[in-house]
């Protein structure tokens, strides 16, 4: 119903209503884990916002970028994130600018470590200027993850622990789970495997309560590196497939193949890896 209204108002050139219904239809598609449908609806909303000069344009670019990223369309997602950042800066919306700097740090995490560091450092500086505790913690996390990926374990653990210390007294479950995941990753890479598993398990418990399926799937995949629990990977694969998260599905299948091989189930391991490889090649996910 929302998508029909968005389409008809757009075709009729009734831009204010096309903007409102396009955004609502896109957000609805996101809640139903239909990223390509969401991107299509946000495209209408963006075009309508451009017609009327609406200040929500940066938000619409960000929403479409998120949908395209989940769908595996990385080039278009990058362009939208950068367009959103430019729009936010043009309006002097510093909180929006901070959020987009963090989005871009996360976006580049699987592609270019130098860009991760650049955006994360900008995000920390802006969060400190704004004086928002949660923003500071979230920025410290991504700077910490950049330190980890560039081989500086002590710096990484210190940044993640600082973020956790900020967040634990607050009622911020989403930010807390991200911190726990990143802290677990740092512990694992730095050789503290028991502490890594404990952090992942804390994050999984919170994510189940939140019904945050994409992050839950991701957390299950990386927890499996420590537990080698095939059931965790099958759940992660199913979740990723159900929500249309192609890169997550490929990663779950690849890790499933690794785990099955370690358990001596070679035929099934090869099938899982081949399926994961086919998805990665289809969406051109080089990592």
The per-residue pLDDT for range 54-107, each reduced to its tens digit, is 999 999 999 999 999 999 999 999 999 999 999 999 999 999 999 999 999 999
Whole-number percent of the chain with pLDDT over 70: 100
In tens, the pLDDT along 201-218 reads: 999 999 999 999 999 999
Give the per-residue pLDDT at 286: 81
Give the per-residue pLDDT at 262: 96
Contact predicate 190/156, CB 8 Å = yes
**What gap in Å lies between CA 115 and CA 148, rounded to an integer?**
14
**What gap in Å lies between CA 77 and CA 74, rounded to an integer?**
5
Rg of the chain taking only CA atoms, in angstroms? 20
In tens, the pLDDT along 227-273 reads: 999 999 999 999 999 999 999 999 999 999 999 999 999 999 999 99
Query: Which of the four pLDDT bands, split at 50, 70 and 90, describes residue 32?
Result: confident
Would you say the pTM of this structure is higher than 0.85?
A: no
Cα-based distances in Å from 217 to 71, 195, 244, 287: 15, 20, 12, 18
Give the per-residue pLDDT at 150: 93
| Long-range contacts (CB closer than 8 Å, 24 or more residues apart) made by 143-152 | 143/117, 144/182, 144/186, 145/109, 145/116, 145/120, 145/182, 145/185, 145/186, 146/105, 146/113, 146/116, 146/117, 146/120, 148/185, 148/186, 148/189, 148/190, 149/109, 149/113, 149/116, 150/113, 150/117
Name residue, tokens 């992050």: 215
**What gap in Å lies between CA 27 and CA 252, rounded to an integer?**
26
| Residues contacting residue 76 through CB under 8 Å, at least 6 positions apart | 65, 68
Whole-number percent of the chain with pLDDT over 90: 92
DSSP state at residue 13: T
- Reference 202, options 221, 223, 224; nearest CA is 223
Contact predicate 94/126, CB 8 Å = yes
Give the per-residue pLDDT at 239: 97
**What gap in Å lies between CA 141 and CA 184, rounded to an integer?**
12
Question: Is 110 a residue whose pLDDT tops 80?
Answer: no
Mean pLDDT, the chain, rounded, equals: 95
**What gap in Å lies between CA 190 and CA 192, rounded to an integer?**
6
Give the per-residue pLDDT at 281: 94
């Amino acid at each position: 119903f929302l998508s029909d209204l968005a389409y008809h108002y757009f075709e009729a050139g009734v831009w204010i209503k096309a903007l409102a219904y396009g955004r609502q239809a896109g957000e609805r598609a996101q809640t139903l884990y239909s990223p390509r449908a969401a991107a299509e609806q946000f495209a209408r909303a963006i075009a309508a916002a451009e017609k009327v000069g609406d200040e929500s344009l940066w938000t619409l670019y960000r929403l479409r970028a998120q949908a395209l990223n989940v769908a595996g369309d990385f080039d278009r997602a990058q362009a939208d994130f950068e367009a959103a950042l430019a729009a936010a800066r043009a309006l002097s919306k510093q909180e929006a600018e901070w959020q987009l700097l963090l989005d871009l740090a996360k976006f580049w995490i699987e592609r270019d470590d130098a860009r991760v560091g650049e955006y994360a450092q900008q995000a920390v500086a802006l969060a400190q200027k704004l004086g928002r505790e949660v923003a500071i913690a979230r920025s410290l996390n991504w700077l910490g993850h950049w330190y980890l990926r560039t081989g500086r374990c002590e710096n990484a653990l210190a940044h993640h622990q600082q973020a956790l210390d900020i967040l634990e007294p607050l009622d911020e479950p989403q930010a807390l789970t991200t911190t726990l995941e990143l802290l677990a990753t740092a512990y694992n890479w730095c050789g503290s495997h028991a502490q890594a598993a404990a952090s992942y398990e804390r994050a999984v418990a919170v994510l189940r309560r939140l019904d945050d399926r994409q992050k839950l799937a991701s957390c299950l995949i990386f927890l499996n590196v420590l537990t080698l629990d095939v059931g965790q990977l099958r759940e992660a694969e199913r979740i990723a497939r159900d929500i249309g998260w192609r890169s997550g599905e490929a990663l779950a299948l690849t890790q499933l193949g690794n785990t099955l091989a370690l358990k001596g189930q070679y035929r099934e391991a090869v099938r899982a890896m081949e399926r994961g490889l086919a998805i990665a090649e289809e969406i051109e996910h080089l990592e």
